[in-house]
């Protein structure tokens, strides 16, 4: 499987969860309305800056969510959709669950950041069920977010515990959304999805050629803007 010569940025080591969250936060455009999914994506709230003026939405009924609450800031009645205590920013508002989902389904979110079990080469997303016997489905609002948000960013480790790539030719798990993912952030690289296939924006702790050995779909370096 060939790979285009790499001129992309490469760092020396894979990213930690917090490093990855910091990178995603940096890439969110100022003034955006954003939903952060359960798991790794919740960490992104800790690295958004005041200058970005980001409004965070959580599907259990809140706009204006702040970073994760710690110590004396913890209010057990103030949580995000993943049941993690959070803070509120000035101007925060609360509303019915149905109104929250109307915001998600109505195209009012600029970006949602979700975890994933698999992402296909065409941007299909599988993140709610592995299909394994006895596995507990956990769809929540993922389908509404995946189809309602203008951009879908995925945050995940590139490989499973068994060493298989989560970026695949086609998803073998039940789909959450079709062709919805625009960008994938992993501990080893940032991938951009689109009609032309998958391009790699930057790598962490490996070269593009080494990354290609891990991922079973053709990769090419993204062209600098």
Residues forming the active site: 59
- CB 165 within 8 Å of CB 214: yes
CA-based angle 63:64:69, to the nearest 5?
115
Helix or strand (DSSP H, E) at 94: strand 86-94
Q: Cα(46)–Cα(16) distance, rounded to whole angstroms?
A: 14
> For residue 47, what is the DSSP state?
G
Three-state SS across 74-120?
CCCCCECCCCCEEEEEEEEEECCHHHHHHHHHCCCCCEEEECCCEEE
> CA of 173: how far to CAs of 8, 69, 102, 123, in Å?
31, 34, 27, 14
Name the pairing type of β-strands 9-11 and 111-114.
unpaired
SS3 73: helix
Sign (positive or negative) of CA dihedral 43, 138, 176, 211: positive
Spatial CA neighbour of 52 closest among 104, 79, 16, 89: 89
CA-based angle 110:120:18, to the nearest 5?
55
């Amino acid at each position: 499987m060939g790979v285009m010569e790499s001129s992309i940025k490469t760092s020396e080591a894979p990213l930690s969860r917090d490093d990855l969250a910091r990178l995603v936060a940096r890439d969110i455009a100022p003034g955006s309305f954003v939903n952060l999914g359960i798991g790794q994506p919740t960490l992104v709230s800790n690295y958004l800056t005041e200058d970005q003026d980001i409004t965070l939405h959580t599907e259990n009924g809140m706009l204006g969510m702040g970073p994760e609450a710690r110590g004396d800031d913890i209010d057990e009645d103030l949580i995000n959709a993943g049941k993690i205590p959070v803070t509120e920013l000035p101007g925060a508002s609360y509303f019915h669950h149905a109104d929250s989902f109307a915001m998600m389904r109505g195209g009012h979110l600029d970006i949602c950041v979700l975890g994933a079990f698999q992402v296909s080469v065409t941007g299909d997303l599988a993140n709610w069920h592995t299909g394994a016997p006895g596995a507990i489905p956990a769809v929540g609002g993922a389908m509404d977010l995946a189809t309602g948000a203008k951009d879908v960013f995925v945050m995940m480790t590139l490989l499973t515990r068994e060493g298989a790539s989560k970026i695949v030719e086609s998803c073998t798990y039940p789909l959450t959304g079709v062709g919805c993912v625009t960008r994938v952030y992993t501990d080893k690289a940032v991938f951009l999805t689109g009609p032309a296939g998958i391009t790699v924006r930057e790598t962490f702790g490996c070269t593009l050629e080494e990354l290609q050995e891990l991922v079973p779909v053709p990769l090419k370096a993204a062209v600098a803007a």
